[in-house]
Structure 1
């Protein structure tokens, strides 16, 4: 029993350390930022946005948002999807 308790405590400690290392991402202000934060951050870190911005133009961001909706089932309506693409291409397009 003591071994199990020690193992559980170790896992909890390691998990807490992993989360503590994650940096808060502050995206550029602009129209549509609220849609990005509200929809995209529900499933993944916003760190992917600046990370991928060197590769994606408007067509690329459109493809990414479409993939999130169609392939991964993100519940984003058309109006929000358009606002997200506009925000990303304007602020993080290559």
Structure 2
């Protein structure tokens, strides 16, 4: 009996346009501009990070990581983004991205 009630509610929602195609009065969300950009670099990972990392999140994410973070930390973060969050990062690009991140935001920064 509960299944029939749920089915009837779903049919009613579709007929009323609640669960159908986008409605003309649909709300739009505009996100604020990023407060930070990636730090420019001549490292190959810079362009790869621009293409991959900031497509999903702000550069603030990198800037707020511990500046003492070593290469294994950044490797784990990049692998996590790919495995857990399904970031479309090419495996071949991952070492260059890690190299850029650790040398720009981690413990391998030039003084």
Pair in the same fold by TM > 0.5: yes
Shift of 1:85: 0.4
TM-score, with normalisation over the residues of structure 2? Answer: 0.62
User: Matched residues in 1 for 2:48 and 2:39: separation?
Assistant: 12
| Greater helix fraction, Structure 1 or Structure 2 | 1
Which structure 1 residue ranges, 5 or more long, are not aligned?
1-7
After superposition, the C-alpha distances for 1:21-78 in whole angstroms (9 at most, x for unaligned) are x424241413110001110011000111121042521000000000000011111111
Give the SS at the match of 1:89: helix
1:27 matched to 2:39: yes
Kindly report structure 1 stretches of 4+ aligned residues shifted beyond 6 Å.
none
The answer to whether the 8 Å contact 2:38/2:50 transfers is no
Higher relative contact order (CA 8 A, sep 6+): 1
How do 1:1-94 and structure 2 match up within 5 A?
Answer: 19=32, 22-31=34-43, 32-94=45-107
Larger Rg: 2
Distance 2:74 2:36 in 1: 22
Structure 2 gaps, min length 5: 1-24
